Amino acid sequence: MFKKEFVPGSRSKVKSSAQRAIRAKVLETYPKLEPHLDDILPKKEQLDLLKIPDRVSLYCLGGEPLFWQHMDDPVMPHLKVIHKYPWAFPRIRIDRGAIRFVLSGATLMVPGLTSPGGRLPGDEEAGDGYGNGGKELEAGEVVVVEAEGKETACMVGVLKMGTQEMEEKKKGPGIENGHYVGDGLWKLDLN
């Protein structure tokens, strides 16, 4: 999505009604963020909307980008929000070998998730962090991607394929066009 660095377009204030709608959307998509929502999106503070390339709307508070949305796709958190509240998102894990591909903007391929170093909700070894409460994730859901041996997430994106199907097929693209550490959105400086 943000493989290239970019210059943001126009900046505008988000009306309070629209601001409420965004809060509701975020809460609906990420119910586990509920206890933290007032910290992330304080009710009384002014949100700004930034138009960025490829019809993406970026919501910021002061100089800090918080969420972004591509047209009518799900609202996505910026990775810095994820780094603060990693437990509030469904997570999967790639093996170490896949990291350098993800960080260069390549499509995340399923073998990086089904190999011994990877973690998916259906795995026996997935544990609390990646077990998703025993529930498989469906295609179209937003997931945070962590990495073997690392503590912080490296990507967030929408699943191309459900996690159960991934375990059966063990190949193909898993996530395309994610937001990853070091990409254009990450490097965007609003100050």
Partner 1 sequence: MTDTATATDARPPKHVVYCGVCTLPPEYCEYGGTTKKCSEWLVANHPDLHSHLYSEDAATKGMSNLSLDAQKRAEKDAQKKAAKAEAAEAREKTQRAASKVYIKRVERNKRKYVTEVSGLEAFGLDLKKIAKEFGKKFATGSSVTKNAGGTGDEITVQGDVSDDIFDWLQEHHAEVPEDNIELIEDKKKKASAGP
The radius of gyration of the chain from alpha carbons, rounded to an integer in Å, stands at: 16
134 binds partner 1 (CB under 8 A): no
Identify which range of 42-50, 105-113, 142-150, 161-169 contacts partner 1 by CB under 8 A. 142-150
Among 4, 13, 15, 32, binds partner 1 (CB under 8 A): 32
181 binds partner 1 (CB under 8 A): yes
Two tokens, residue 166: 């991934």
The 8 Å CB, 24+ separation contacts for 100-106 are: 102/145, 102/147, 102/154, 102/155, 102/178, 102/180, 103/154, 103/180, 103/181, 103/182, 105/3, 105/180, 105/183
148 binds partner 1 (CB under 8 A): yes
127 binds partner 1 (CB under 8 A): yes
Residues in the chain, total: 191
Identify which range of 4-12, 20-28, 67-75, 77-85 contacts partner 1 by CB under 8 A. 77-85
Name 142's bridge partners. Answer: 158
Task: List interacting residues with partner 1 (CB under 8 A).
Answer: 32, 35-36, 39, 80, 83-88, 95-97, 99-100, 103-104, 116-117, 127-130, 146, 148-152, 154, 181-182, 186-187
